[in-house]
Amino acid sequence: MTSNTTAEKIQELRKQNNLTQDDFAKRLCTSRTTISNWEQGKCFPTTEQLIKMHEVFNTSADEILQIRPKNGFVCVLDTSAILRRPAILDIIFQNERIEKIIIPDTVISELNYQKDRGKRRQQAWLAMASIEKLRSKNPSRIKITNEKKPDGINDRKIIFAAEQVAKFYSNNFVYLLTEDIFFPLIVQRRPNPNLEIITLKDFDELFVPSFSEYDKLLSANFYAAIKKDDIKAAEKQKFKNTDVNYIDPTTGFTPLIQSIRNKSMPTFQYLLTCPEIDYDKCDNAKYRLPPICHAVQLDNPEMIEALISHGAKVDCQSQGKNKCNTALMMAAWHGRNDILKYLIQQGACTNQQDTNGYTALIKACIRGNNDSVKILLPLTDSRIRSFEGLDAKEYAARNKNSKIVELMKKEYSND
């Protein structure tokens, strides 16, 4: 919308009806000066005046203000969304409804920092490699912007960049894709009509086809090929309407979980390269475990590391019986101490409780895994009680594990 085009449209409307400015003003219950100001582009009609114009001349506000329909979607990416799911870049790139992909240079700086010195080096490395690959494919579609706001914290710089993009692409819907919970609060204070904050979950609902749009036969055949470790056959069944996260009705497994159960590293790695793969989708079996928990069950640290590096949530919870079980809890339960240490390094929450109120420490005490207790004790609030009302030391005592009881007494005495 510009003042010139609106002014021209109002003048055109008046002349089409063979009216002078005085006559036009009378029909709209306003003054000739107001009409003159409109036609010179000095001001716009108010909402009430636009309604009156519609009633008298049967013309819409959009037509008068020269607001064209929104053409398509532009996606601005925040660091949090990219690090959570590096494959999101490929997913967005493959979606024809999204015309432009914008990455603020602040995001690039944050990714480079993570790649070189941060805790999420693998995710950042994957993301940067994907950005370079996609830019080489279509440099006009994926763009890195300089938001030209040198001061302030990075979050505000990224939001400022999104606001500038929304102004530039005024005839598009602009989505800022982020997992940062504070972004919506900042944007709400200065709303932009064509800018919206969305999360990865929102993105999936908006752009990823629902299951009803998938071809069940193709999806079942894709799963069957994965189960047989036949990557070539799987590739032949992979089309836009193939659900690569299909849940097999017999096993209850997804293709990714099936590859973990098969202990097939080549098939597993192939699936990780599929942009549509959901790294956290639970199976449909009794315990409804996510892929990372299956990898812990099978004592496969290589697969666990690969899942996390591709964006799987380290604290992803089970959804079935004994709900809210995590990979850390399962590692503590089975005494898989190398995995336990790695998950803690990746930021796993040691105080998380399942539906019994058990923490990973409590589980290690119940099972009598002394070494697991030694790892978890300094990092866990040992006073947390289960829903049975017992803390970790009381579970160790109930199970007559004197070594753990003594260990915990020392920890309490140090406090």
For 257-296, write each residue's pLDDT tens digit.
999 999 999 999 999 989 889 999 999 887 899 999 999 9
Most confident of 18-27, 83-92, 123-132, 225-234: 225-234
Q: Predicted confidence band at 61 (pLDDT cuts at 50, 70, 90)?
A: low
Residue 304 contacts residue 328 (beta carbons within 8 Å): no
Percent pLDDT > 70 in the chain is: 90
CA distance 156 to 103: 14
**CA torsion angle 91 93 98 100 (round to 10):** 140
d(CA 393, CA 405): 6
| Across 202-217, average pLDDT | 76
- The token duo for 406 is 């003594």
- Give the pLDDT of residue 359: 95
Answer whether residue 70 shows pLDDT above 60. no
Q: Is the pLDDT assigned to residue 202 strictly greater than 90?
A: no
The reported pLDDT for the residue numbered 67 is 53
Q: How far apart are CA 5 and CA 38, in angstroms?
A: 11
CA angle centred on 403, ends 398 and 409, rounded to 5°: 80
| Each residue's pLDDT tens digit, 92-147 | 988 888 989 999 999 999 999 998 887 778 788 888 988 998 999 888 899 898 76
Contacts of 170 (CB under 8 A, 6+ apart): 1, 194
The CA–CA distances, whole Å, from 120 to 77, 187, 259, 271 equal 17, 27, 25, 21
Residue 1: pLDDT band with limits 50, 70, 90 = very low
388 CB-near residues (< 8 Å, 6+ apart): 356, 357
Q: Are strands 195-198 and 142-145 parallel, antiparallel or unpaired?
A: unpaired
Rounded average pLDDT over 40-64: 74
pLDDT single digits (tens) 165-200: 888 888 888 899 998 877 776 665 556 678 888 888
pLDDT at residue 6 above 80? no
Mean pLDDT value across the chain: 86
Evaluate if residue 2 carries a pLDDT over 50.
no
**Residue 56 pLDDT more than 50?**
yes
